[in-house]
Amino acid sequence: MEDYPKFLEEDRKIRTSIEKYVEKHVKDSSNYGGIGHIEIQRKTDPIRIEIHTGFPDLLVEEHNLGIDQMKSDIEHMLGLGNRKLRITLNNVTQPYGEPKILAEHVASQLKNRVAFRRTMKRAIELVGRTSNKGIKIQIAGRLNGSEMARVEWAREGRVPLQTIRARISYCYHPAQTIHGVLGIKIWIFRDTELSLSIGNGTL
C-alpha cells in the first residue's frame, strides 16, 4: 500500500500520454471511434495496458500510430528501467454506447460550428442504435456564440440518477470553441438495474 500514491501518479501519466499521442496523430478522433477507457494491470511484469477503442484495426493501420513508438515514449517518460509495458488494443462493439467516445464526437461537432441542438439530436440517435436504455446529454457555455452562457440538455429513454443500483455511465468533456469552452456532460443508462442473487432467488 505504501507504493499506492506512486502507482496512481504513474497511471495518470500513462493515460494522459496515450490520449495526447492519439490526439497528435489523429486529427479527427470521431473517424476511428475514440478511446472508451484505458485499463492498467500491475499484477505481473510487464505492466499490461489495454486500450478500449471503437476501431482498433483502423487506429493502427490507417493512421499508422505505431504502438511500439507509443510504448517506447511511455517507458522513457516514466523511467521504468527493467520494467516493461505491454499495450494491447481491444474493440468496443458499440463505440457510441461509451460516454467518453460520444462526448469526443459531440466536442468535434461543436468545434466545427455545428448547431448544438442538432449535435445533441445526432448524439441521441447514435445511442439509440445501441442496446442502452437511455441517455441524457447536457451542454453548458456560450452556446452558438451567444453573449450569455446557459445550460441546455436533452434526454431520451430512462436515466434514473436517483438510485445507486442503476448502471449509469458518466463522462465530462470540455470542448474548446472559438466562443470559449463548452462543458459536455453525458449520462448513459446501460441496460437494467443491478440485481443481487441469493441462491435461486433475486433481490
Domain 96-189 class, CATH top level = alpha beta
Cα–chain center distance at 44: 26
Give the model's pLDDT for residue 120. 94
Q: Which residue has the higher pLDDT, 129 or 83?
A: 129
Query: Which band of pLDDT confidence, cut at 50, 70 and 90, is reported for residue 45?
Result: confident
What are the sequence ranges of the domains in the chain?
Answer: 4-91, 96-189
Query: Are the folds of 4-91 and 96-189 the same?
Result: no
Domain 4-91 class, CATH top level = alpha beta
Across the range 54-79, mean pLDDT stands at 69
**Amino acid sitting at position 9:** E
Taking 60 as the threshold, does the pLDDT of residue 144 lie above it?
Answer: yes
Give the model's pLDDT for residue 203. 35
pTM value is 0.75
